[in-house]
Structure 1
Amino acid sequence: MAPITWLDKLEQELDIDIDWMDSDFLRSYLPKIRFHDQTSNQGFVDVQLDHPSNAQLIIDTAREVKAEHEDAASTNTLLKQHPLWVAIYTRMSVLMAAKNVDLISGRTLLQTLPSLAYDYEATLAHAHLYAAEFARVGVSRDRFCIKIPSTGPALNAAKTLQTEGIQTLGTALFGLAQAIACSQARCLSISPYYNDVRVHTDRSVWPETKDPAVEHPNSPRILQILEAYRRLYKETGQDQPLMKNASFVNAEESMAAGEMGCQSVTLFHGIIEDLASRPYDPESPTRPGGKAAEGRPKPEHHYRDRPDVNDRLKPLLEVDHLSKASAAPDYDALSKVDYLADNGKALDAAIKADTAAADRLDVALTLFITAENSSRAKVEKALAAI
C-alpha cells in the first residue's frame, strides 16, 4: 500500500479546493485526486488571460460580444447593460472557469469586480451577468458560486442573490463581524484570509511560525468564527456558511486549518505540490504540534456535529492577537446586530472600528482592482485587434 501524504491526510479532515485555473494542473492529479471546488479571483483570471491556450479565445470572445453589444435587435439586454469590456471580461472568465468543471467534483467560483465592492446595484448586476453566462454555456447553478466582497453593500447583493437561488461566498473576510454578516446574507460559504495578502509579495510581513494552529496571530479569529457559527446553528437550526479558509503561505498553515476544524481550504498549486510530496506517518505525525494536533474526520454535518475545540486550541477562543483583546467575543451581542440594514451601514462601521480588518480589506481590494485593470487592458487590446 502506498504511503499516505500530507495531502491525503488533510483531505480526510476537510475538503481540498484548488485556488488556480490551469486545466493541465488539475488533470495532472487525476484520477487519484479530484479537487472539490475551483476558486479564483481577479488575479488568477488575469494570469489565465495570458495563457497561450486562451490567446485565440479572447479574440473570438471579444468579436462575439462586441457584435452582441452593438446589435440593436439583440435580446441579450443584460449583457448590454454593462460596459463592453466588462461584458467581454465576464464571458471570458466564465469560459475559462467552465473548461474545468468536469475536472472538479464541486463548484467553480468567480468574483464580482472589486471596483464595485461598495455598490449594491452594480455588484448585483455583475453577479447576474455571471449567472447568465454560466447558463449560456450549460453550467447549472449547483456547479458555480459567485464570490462577493464582504462589505455592507456587496453582502446585501449576496442576500438578494441567495433568495434568487444563486449561491454566494463572502470573500475578502478578515473579522467576526463580516462573518456574522455573511450568515445574515445566507451565504453558502465564506473565505477568511489566514494571512494578509501582502505576504504573497512581501515575506517580511509574514508571521512565520513553527506551529501555526497555536502561534499564528489569525488562528483565534478563525476559531471564533467557527464557534460563532456553531452557536448560531444551535440557536436557530439554520445552516451556517461553510468556512473555506484561504491565503496560506505554506503547507503547515493548511494543516493547521484541519486541526481547527475548517470545512475546506483553498490552496495555491505550489502548496498542493508540497503537501503531495510529504509522506505522513500516522504513528509519528510530522505535522506541527504532533499527534495532539491531528484533526478529526469530516463530520456528517458541519455544525450540528462539530466537536469541542481541542485542549491545545481552547485558549485561543479567549484572545484576539490582531486587536489585543483579552476576552472572548460577546457572541450574543454580535449576533443581535443587523449588519445588513441600511445598505450594510453597521457592517461597514464595524469593519472601520476593527483596524486590522479595515486595513487588510483595503489592501485586498486594491490588489484585486489592480488585477482588474490589468485584465481590462488585455480585453481592450483584443478589441483593438479585431
Structure 2
Amino acid sequence: MQSALDQLKEMTVVVADTGNVGEIRKYAPFDCTTNPSLILNAFKDPASEELIAREIEFGQKTGCTPEGVADRLTVAVGAELAALVPGRISTEVDARLSFDAKASVNRAHAIIADYGERGIPRDRILIKLASTWEGICAAEILQGEGIDCNLTLLFSMAQAIACADAGAFLISPFVGRITDWYKKAEGRDSYAPEVDPGVLSVKRIYDYYKSNGIRTVVMGASFRSTDQVKALAGCDRLTIAPKLLGELAKETAPLPRALSATGISGSERQIIDEATFRWQMNADAMATEKLAQGIRAFDADHKQLIALIAERMR
C-alpha cells in the first residue's frame, strides 16, 4: 500500500516548508518555500555551515553590511535548494517592506538579479510578499513584468479576491494560524476537519477560484496536523513541515480526494477595490490580527538573523 504522502503527491503538488537540505533530500518535494524563520534555522543545520561561512566571508571582504549579507544568504540558501527540487523556490521580501509597494518591487528586482548571478533563472523563483494591499499592488506590478509571486500571510476572502484581481501566480492561505485564533477565541481544544475554520477557509477560496476560472494557484500552508493536510487533499499545492511529512510517509490508509474542480459551487466573480479591501479586513478581527502578527514575527526573525550575522562577522 502506498503511503499517505505518496497518495497525496498524486493529486497535489507537495512543497516542503523547510530550508533544511537533509529534509528536502529525504522527502523529495516538488517546490520549496522559505521565510526568515526558516533561513534562521539554517544556522542550526550543519549542512548549511559551509554556505553560511562563504557568504559571511564575502561580506567581510567586500565591506557588505550584516543586512546585505542576510539578503545574500537568503538567496544563497534558495539557490542551493533549487538544485534539489524540480520546481520553484519561494523567496521572501523583507517583512518591513510590507506597506511599501515601490520598495517591495525594488527588493524583488534585487532578489531576481542575485539569483541570476548564481545561474538561477526567474522562472524558478517565486517572490514572496505579505498579502497587505501594498504587497498585492507590488505583486500586480511584478506579475506584469513576468516575475511570478507568492502572496503569503493570507487569512481572508478579501485578500484572496484582491490577489486574484492582481493576477498573482500563487497564494498561501495559512490554515493552522486561522485555527489557532478560533481555538483561543472560542475556548476550544480542537476541531474535527470538516468544521476546522482554517480548513474551511481554504476550501472557500479554492471553490471561488475554480468557480471563476481563476488561474492563481492555491497553496495551503501552516498546518498543525496531518488531519488538516488530508482534509485538503486535491488542493493545487500544500506546503508541509518535515514533521508532518514524516507522519504522512508512515501512514498507509487510503487517502480520498477532498478537493476537486468538478465539485465547485459556481459562485460569482467579485472585484475588490482598496477601500473595500481595507473595510473588509478591518471587519475581520482574525485576519487583521494574524496578518499583523505574522509580519511582526517575520520582521523579528529577520532582525535576529542580521544580529547573528553581525556577530559572526566580528
Fold shared, TM-score > 0.5 on shorter chain = yes
Mapped to 2, the partners of 1:107 and 1:9 lie a distance apart of 21
In the alignment, is residue 241 of structure 1 matched against residue 216 of structure 2? yes
Question: Out of 16, 33, 41, which is 1:47 matched to?
Answer: 41
In the alignment, is residue 269 of structure 1 matched against residue 236 of structure 2? no
- 1:1-386 correspondence runs (5 A): 3-29=1-27, 34-65=28-59, 67-68=61-62, 84-196=65-177, 199=180, 208-209=190-191, 211-212=192-193, 214-233=194-213, 239-258=214-233, 261-280=234-253, 282=254, 294-295=256-257, 306-309=261-264, 331-332=268-269, 335-339=270-274, 346-384=276-314
Contact 2:99/2:132, CA 8 A, preserved across alignment: yes
Mapped to 1, the partners of 2:88 and 2:262 lie a distance apart of 27
Pairwise CA distance, 1:85 = 3.0
Instruction: Return 5+ residue gaps in structure 2 as ranges.
Output: none
Pairwise CA distance, 1:191 = 0.3
Which amino acid in the other structure matches residue 190 of structure 2?
E
Mapped to 2, the partners of 1:203 and 1:338 lie a distance apart of 31
Q: Scaled by the length of structure 1, what TM-score is found? A: 0.74
Mapped to 2, the partners of 1:56 and 1:267 lie a distance apart of 26
Which amino acid in the other structure matches residue 134 of structure 2?
P
Indicate how the Cα distance of structure 1 residues 250 and 155 shifts in structure 2: closer, same or farther if over 3 A, else same.
same
Pairwise CA distance, 1:264 = 1.0
Which amino acid in the other structure matches residue 271 of structure 2?
K
SS in 2 for 1:38: strand
Contact 2:22/2:47, CA 8 A, preserved across alignment: no
Pairwise CA distance, 1:69 = 5.8
Indicate how the Cα distance of structure 1 residues 375 and 206 shifts in structure 2: closer, same or farther if over 3 A, else same.
farther
Instruction: Return 5+ residue gaps in structure 1 as ranges.
Output: 71-83, 234-238, 288-293, 300-305, 318-329, 340-344
Mapped to 1, the partners of 2:208 and 2:37 lie a distance apart of 31
User: Which segments of structure 1 move beyond 4 Å, counting only runs of 4 or more?
Assistant: 66-70, 197-200, 202-207
Q: Scaled by the length of structure 2, what TM-score is found? A: 0.90
Mapped to 1, the partners of 2:145 and 2:41 lie a distance apart of 31
Indicate how the Cα distance of structure 1 residues 8 and 54 shifts in structure 2: closer, same or farther if over 3 A, else same.
closer
Percent identity, please: 23
Higher helix fraction (1 or 2): 2
Could you say which structure has the larger radius of gyration? 1
Which amino acid in the other structure matches residue 350 of structure 1?
Q
- C-alpha RMSD over aligned residues: 2.6
Contact 1:174/1:192, CA 8 A, preserved across alignment: yes
Contact 2:158/2:272, CA 8 A, preserved across alignment: no
